[in-house]
Structure 1
Amino acid sequence: MTRVETIHRAIRHVYEAALAPEDWPRAIASIAEAGEAGKAMLHAQEREAPGLAISIGFDANSAWLLQREIETRMPDWIKAIPVGKALRQSSAISDTDFKRSDIYREAIRPAGGFYGIVAPLVREPERQVLFSMGRELGKANFSDDDLGALTLIVPHLTTALQVRKRLDAADLRAKGAYDVLTHLDIGVVLFDAAMRPIFANRCAEALARSGDGLLLSGRSVSASRPSDARSLRAAIAAAIALNNTGRDASETAIRPQAPMRCYLSRSPPRLPLVVRVLPVSASDLLQGISASTRAALFVIEPDRQVAIDPMVLAATFELTRREAALAALLARGMELAEAASQSGIAIGTARGYLKQILAKTATHRQAELVSLLLRGGLHITR
């Protein structure tokens, strides 16, 4: 498998884990493979809540030691890495100083590791999320290609975490289930026992309109490729079947189940859509959802550009309307001259706006600003 293929697979697994948390270990393992790392850890910590560490390549004690170091005495060189940026440890601290550090002596050395890459994903007063991957002692340092692989994956990993957080936090009963589902920035389709779609949100309808990957009609959901359509139908049927045990419960329990996940291929170079189907029993129905619902399909578009809302940027960082509009364009990957042209302003004026934006966001370079905005401007609902 080529490096590009391992990166694409890691991205698919990351988005699948956003919909099915039990898949996070597989996603972390895929990221480690893309970066040719023997060890990896995703660490999340929230105030007044126990920390969470999903690790690959560590035994239980070594993982606990590293988790403890991160939670109790995070090294200053890690704290200095901008959110959303992947950095080789050797670029932030010399090998000599690293060998003397607490995190190496107390956690990395006992685990048999040395060189690493670290990427802070979330840094908020109430929540910290850090991804790191490492190599065994005696292995060569990570190359530029290894760092580049993680740099490509990090924005998707951050987005997936935001998706998971929004899905966990959505109070469907209080706000009205259909209203929340309608505005989710991932595709949602609900099915009855006959596999007929009874609801599709705006995102699912938009994906279907392209005719590339997901197909949606009033009576069925399918895929543009016949093999994908069969996999999709099998996934939906498997989810619905879990609600139809009845007298044949024992037979259903031992019958091999089709996977309730699949990928829908799209025209190159687009990445496949990531699909997860979950059973919905009558006892689990949320207020406002049709009583005939028996399965819910979630679909994520891995290569979709993150939408940055200028109004949110203005409110968050006290930017003017024009500064926020320029910042949003920069976050979409535009160069300053291109963003200035699209905004209808001179490049000199754009440089002046950028200077003010950097000052208000406490950043020093355009790349650092974009990293901050991608993290702070993610929106899973519209």
Structure 2
Amino acid sequence: MLSDKQLLALADEIYEVALDPSYWEELLTSLTSIFRSDFVGVITQDHGSGFCTWFHGVGMDDHDIVRYATYYGTISPTFFQLQVTGVGDVITDEMHLNRRIYTNSEFYNDFLKPLKLERSAALIMERNAHDQTYLALRRPDRNHYTDEELQDFSRVASHLYRAIKLQRRTHFQDRLETAINDALDHVKSGLVLLAPDGSAIKFNKEAERIIAAHDGVYVRGNRLYIERSSCLVDASRLVNGDCSTNPQHPESEAVAIQRPLKRPYILFAYPLGRNDGNTAIHSGTAVFITDTERNHNLTTETIGQIFGLTPAEARLTAALAEGRSLQEYSDAANIAISTARSTLKSVFKKTQTSRQTELVRLVFSCTGSTN
């Protein structure tokens, strides 16, 4: 039986897997040695089909893993018995309800025997409405698993299950972070997140583009600076009162950053984490930077899609949103002004507007803040 010291050392290996999935093979190789097994695997199988939806194992080559995952695992007597076994319970090849049926099965004779993996032990670690996850050991027929080994098997499986749950949570967090980064890159404004100490910790793509232009917004070290009255100001100080234009209301700050040859950047800074009413404590700052030189108008295709307009109606709406008059549009489109007016009436009806200014305001309200 494993000593407490051995189990503790093994637990360190197990929880490394939770942090770094690349350690799976190393961990499972250690388990083959501890349990004197030729194969160790962690497997998730679908209840209905029996197909393996997740498989980490050592002791089988890729070809045999595919054979098990797509066919032999689905007809295995062990798979069917595991479905009625309690979570945390161990089942061995000797515990099958009908061992003769087991040893005469296609799974046993055509898959296990050629691989010399007749002896088995498995433990259900998790079961939900769709599938079950279990730890499996297999070795040649000459040695069955002892009671002491099965006790160790249960102890190890409990740690492994916790590690798998942690890995899933970590994996979810990784995917969530990737999704958030993708979402931030669709924000039309530049976005910089500042830590409570003022250091910049996140930039979206638009912010990186603005900073790379070196015309009013800069990064020095790991801090964000903006140019005001020919001086560089730390952007984190905008919402802390000392550089605020409105220190009585530090919940936000708006600043125009002038540029010599272009329209200004518009910067909005918002302190984060002040929902508890304590304005002295915050979790950082969100800095939005809008480049007023950039054209953020909706495309003709998008306008048509949003409002259900015909291509002609969408082209007219886009032209009005760009500031052209109805006459200018009809001239450019080489159509009669009466046709343009008729088209506009149809647009008014579909967009539930009645005036051009109202229509343009509606279009601009739909541009939102994303690309």
* Greater C-alpha Rg: 2
User: Above 0.5 in TM-score?
Assistant: no
If asked which structure has higher relative contact order (CA below 8 Å, sep 6+), I would say 1
Q: TM-score under structure 2 normalisation?
A: 0.42
Q: TM-score under structure 1 normalisation?
A: 0.41
